[in-house]
Amino acid sequence: MSDQFTIQEIIEIAIEIEKNGEVFYRALAESANTAPLRDLFKNLSDAEKKHKAIFEEMLKSVGGYQVSEIYYADEYMGYMKAIADEQVFKKDISILEVAKSLKSPKEAIELAIDFEKDSIIFLHEMLDIVNESEIETVKKLLDEERGHIRRLSTIKSQVS
């Protein structure tokens, strides 16, 4: 792979992020000690699965699409690679091990909020590189991720 990502690779990373989220939330649901937490994490796992399907459809639609030179494609794609490498696409971390190592529901929720924040950063940056026809889809996904943070924050304030 080159130093930069193609739009296809960026979308593939988004798919991996959603897969990781699905696994992470499923593990949290399985280890949750209350029904509300179990339901919250199961719903979030289901949402990540739906997001993955949306990105898979998006991947099919980009074909030979190239990032416009107006965005300084090489620099911008290098920036996206840095975000992916440093924030959301760490291959050396076992999501299941992290989920199992959490010591409290509050710690799980805090980590989930961080995961959602990282996803929002990545999705927000995708707005500048996706086909114009895909912008509204990415915006809807951003709104859903923001909603996840609101739900998580509400629950966090209710647990100890």
Domains and CATH numbers, the chain: 7-156 (1.20.1260.10)
Q: Supply the pLDDT for residue 50.
A: 93
Q: Supply the pLDDT for residue 73.
A: 58
User: What's the whole-number mean pLDDT along residues 128-154?
Assistant: 87
Q: Supply the pLDDT for residue 2.
A: 43
Average pLDDT, the chain: 79
Distance between CA atoms of 1 and 142, rounded to whole angstroms? 28
> Pick from 122, 112, 110: which is nearest to 44 by CA?
112
Lowest-pLDDT range of 20-29, 36-45, 70-79, 94-103: 70-79
pTM: 0.77
> Pick from 122, 121, 156, 148: which is nearest to 42 by CA?
148
Per-residue model confidence as pLDDT tens digits over 29-48:
998 888 988 999 999 999 99
Q: Supply the pLDDT for residue 105.
A: 87
> Pick from 91, 76, 92, 94: which is nearest to 27 by CA?
94
User: What's the whole-number mean pLDDT along residues 135-155?
Assistant: 90
Q: Supply the pLDDT for residue 154.
A: 93
